[in-house]
Structure 1
Amino acid sequence: MTLATDSLIVDGVRLAYRDRGRGEPVIFIHGTPSHSYEWRDVVPHVEAAGFRTVTYDLLGYGRSERPVDRDTSVAGQTDLLEHFLDALGIEQVTIIAHDIGGAIGLRFSLSRPDRVRRLMLIDTVSYDSWPSSSWQKIIDENLDDCTSMPQDAFNALLTRQLKMTVTDHTLMDGDVLQAYLAPHQSTLGRVSFFEHQVRHYDSKFTREISDELPRLTMPVRILWGEEDQWQPVRYAKRLSDAIPNARLAVVPEAGHFLMEDAPERVVHEVLDLLRTPPR
């Protein structure tokens, strides 16, 4: 199931997105190495519960444009998020965010708290938690010569990383694995992956907002896979302690891609948050 089926020009660039349903708006922000496909088993249930659901591929990801001259870091994506909401006519929104999407959600919630009704952080990067050791090794060994990497070698590298995101490795196989690999099955796709994603794996974007987290006043839910190999659960507890209105739920036998390991639990937690009165 592909979620980003439509396109919209936002601040001069093309974003692939999906906007469905009626009612209070909820936006889902994916992580890396990923695209909006990761929400396929979550969004339809939230939409069926009576909410307007918006999913999109971050700039440089999935089916969105892969520009040569735009900032696709967490900071750049945060700026673009505001333009995207404006283009959709959404003034206030609940943000459901995963991985680097969580950093985008945090930065946006701090800069425009008037526009965020609630915030959910799922296995998000924070503080100095990223890049993980396995990604740092890839950055050190492959970033400078990524243009010469053969497709088979790239697929093997990314497959190894994706297998680390789930506790049940059979979930990251077959059609699901191919869907995560699909945006990178060309020279452009491989180079874009390193330039638009991996090159921006930099904890400065979360370290520089760490002291501001206590300013968040909206309801915040933190949801984490207990077996996350990239973002250890101690960071979830650190976020929970720093954010005044945060509630933490740790899911056993689940990894970094919680929506793959435990989609029903994610749906339950999202709907529970949406029943919480904003502020």
Structure 2
Amino acid sequence: MEQVVDQHAIINGHRVAHGVHGAGEPVVLVHGTPSSSYIWRNVVPRLVDAGYRVHVFDLLGYGLSERPRDPAVDTSITGQVAVLAELLDLWRLDTFHLVAHDIGGGVAQRFGVRSIERLRTLTLIDVVSFDSYPSERTRQQMADGLEVLAKKPDDEHREHFRKWLLSTHSDPSGFDPEALRIYVDLISGPIGQPSLFQHQVAHYEPVHTMEISDQLDTLGRVPVQMIWGADDTWQVIEHAHRLQRAIPGSGLHVIERCGHFAPEERPTEVAAAVLEFLEQNRS
């Protein structure tokens, strides 16, 4: 498995996997759901080669980070902001470029409106915003109770989420089979399956983004760009336009023939768009 996290730290009493690569201006990458920092593996080397120091981590309850057994541990979007803040102290970062995908974009928005003075730039890739999530199907599953899904037979669970992950690509046949296997493995098995519902699906609550929706104009105090897959069916392009209208001066870069998992499906294009934006706003 090509992992970009190779260190571990105790953050607020829990183990968080993280990694630091390269040297130069700091860039922090925040992944979403149902993924991990693994989604950045083909983006990180391009940023490093361009002269940036790249910081990555697995959200608490995701990837190679701890999956807390205690349901009282907050692994929601709001809870992850506190994890990010502690990691910034560990990495000794006062200001930095922030790049976020999916649910990670909710984390970035909440962090940004509270601590805008710490951001040099903000890049949002196919992110959640306002009440753009969860889907009606997931909303119904949450209402019916996730306990049943958490106890589904392993093979049934894996097949369901394999199909779910395939829908993140504009061309499902182009999803790298090994990468697909890794994504499914991380959310399956005796730990991964219940953890998926406890730490990820259970927190697909738009309250975390709606609560700060009237403060998004604050983000316009720094350069902001959005990168979006034209064929994203999870966070459709209309959500990008709504978010762009809410953030003064923000730009939108659309990648054709690309779905929701843009860093996975089109890493070269994503890295190029990020780098062009960073170079335009380099200190």
RMSD: 1.5
1:11 alignment counterpart: 12
Q: Does residue 25 of structure 1 match 2:29?
A: no
Alpha-carbon shift at residue 135 of structure 1 (Å): 2.8
Aligned to 1:275, the other structure's residue is in SS state helix
Q: Which residue, out of 143, 151, 156, partners 1:153?
A: 156
Amino acid across the alignment from 1:107: R
Superposition pairs for residues 247-266 of structure 1, below 5 Å? Answer: 247-266=251-270
2:205 alignment counterpart: 202
Q: Does residue 53 of structure 1 match 2:54?
A: yes
Once the two structures are superposed, what CA deviation does each residue of 1:35-54 show, in whole Å capped at 9, x if it has no partner? 01111111110011111001
Distance 1:171 1:136, change over 3 A: farther
Amino acid across the alignment from 2:61: G
1:103 alignment counterpart: 106
CA contact 1:219–1:278 (8 Å) conserved in 2: no
Alpha-carbon shift at residue 2 of structure 1 (Å): 1.2
CA contact 1:10–1:87 (8 Å) conserved in 2: no
Distance 1:134 1:172, change over 3 A: farther
- Number of residue pairs the alignment of both structures matches: 279
CA contact 1:218–1:278 (8 Å) conserved in 2: no
Alpha-carbon shift at residue 173 of structure 1 (Å): 4.7
Q: Which residue, out of 60, 70, 73, partners 1:70?
A: 73
**Which whole-Å CA distance do the structure 1 matches of 2:186 and 2:7 have between them?**
16
Aligned to 2:62, the other structure's residue is in SS state coil
Give the TM-score, by structure 1 length: 0.96
**Which whole-Å CA distance do the structure 1 matches of 2:165 and 2:176 have between them?**
9
Amino acid across the alignment from 1:149: K
Distance 1:128 1:185, change over 3 A: closer
2:271 alignment counterpart: 267
Alpha-carbon shift at residue 147 of structure 1 (Å): 3.8
Q: Does residue 242 of structure 1 match 2:246?
A: yes
Once the two structures are superposed, what CA deviation does each residue of 1:175-196 show, in whole Å capped at 9, x if it has no partner? 0111101223322211110000
Amino acid across the alignment from 1:195: Q
Distance 1:251 1:134, change over 3 A: farther
Equivalent pairs: percent with the same residue? 39
Alpha-carbon shift at residue 140 of structure 1 (Å): 4.4
Q: Which residue, out of 235, 253, 265, partners 1:231?
A: 235
CA contact 2:151–2:194 (8 Å) conserved in 1: no
Structure 2: any 5+ residue segments left out of the alignment?
Answer: none
Amino acid across the alignment from 1:246: S
CA contact 1:167–1:255 (8 Å) conserved in 2: yes
Structure 1: any 5+ residue segments left out of the alignment?
Answer: none
Give the TM-score, by structure 2 length: 0.94
Aligned to 2:74, the other structure's residue is in SS state coil
